[in-house]
Amino acid sequence: MKQISRDAHAKINLALDVTGRREDGYHLVRMIMQEIGLHDTLTFKAREDGKGDLALKIEGADLSAGEDNLICRAARVMMKELGITDSLDIGLQKRIPIAAGLAGGSTDAAAVFLALRDLYAPDLTDERLCELALPLGADIPYCIMGGTRISEGIGEVLTKLPDLPAWPMILVKPAVGVNTGQVYRALDALEGYAHPDVDGMIRAIEEKDLKKTAALCSNVLELVTGPMVQRIGEVEAFFMKEGALTARMSGSGPSVFAIYETRERAAGALEAFWRSPVSEGCFGTLTTFFSREGKN
């Protein structure tokens, strides 16, 4: 029996801009993506029985474990691509909140592509994995590559940036869900809005300037998600009062990240948050930026 385990890290959008929309309805974006320490863990056991069965067991979340799950769909793509006839037992320990703007489903799918590549075809390139993954979701190629990257097109055009240090941050997810399609449709209805200074952030990242990078964090989708979910602004305001360098929404929401200069200040702010009525029903954790190369 072959077996392997892999961590699947959440992501945040340090900057998120929408630059247009294709004829097929997909939106064109320009984003700065960053992996963080919060992660799910997937385990894989392959039985050499020639049956090609697939079983998924999930702990930590009430999710479908059937063939409709993105993990299973990713596994089927790789099984077809590589001609895998082994039966696979996949276990998921879910820690990343669901429907949170953190690419939780996409990063789990990416872990499948990476793990099965490691088990069956170690010479298969990242580029080929991304080609296979893109039809399943625009965030999956980034989750395969990881790190700090510019993401353009519909999310599939990725450019590496220098890995950032393990800057401390708090992540909070209010107890509400957000419909991503509804958010983008609402943004389309706006006649005009200010765009993030993505180029300025790229320069700040290249300089590894924490304060400048934090100051340039911006997300155009918050223009529409913010009014839909009042708690987003309340969480941001709380952490700004508690000394955060910035507090912004990630993805289409509703998760908020707050960046701090020191872990001690972040830990103190999180403790204060749990004593506040703003925290009611929220998920929250203290984590850091994550680099695969540095394993920070």
Question: How do beta strands 246-249 and 256-259 pair?
Answer: antiparallel
Which entry of 11, 94, 108, 163 is annotated as an active-site residue? Answer: 11
Q: Among candidates 136, 132, 130, which has minimal Cα distance to 149?
A: 130
- Looking at residue 270, the DSSP 8-state letter turns out to be H
Q: Among candidates 250, 2, 6, 251, which has minimal Cα distance to 110?
A: 6
CA distances from 279 to 10, 30, 93, 234, 262 (A): 21, 31, 25, 9, 22
Tokens standing for residue 70: 């993105």
Separation of alpha carbons 198 and 76, rounded Å:
37
Which entry of 17, 86, 108, 139 is annotated as an active-site residue? Answer: 139
- The verdict on whether omega for the bond into residue 277 sits within 30 degrees of 0, i.e. cis, is no
Separation of alpha carbons 90 and 165, rounded Å:
32
Tokens standing for residue 54: 């697939």
Q: Catalytic: 11?
A: yes
Separation of alpha carbons 93 and 2, rounded Å:
19
How many CA atoms, within 13 angstroms, populate the side-chain half-sphere of residue 68? 2
Q: Which residues are catalytic?
A: 11, 139
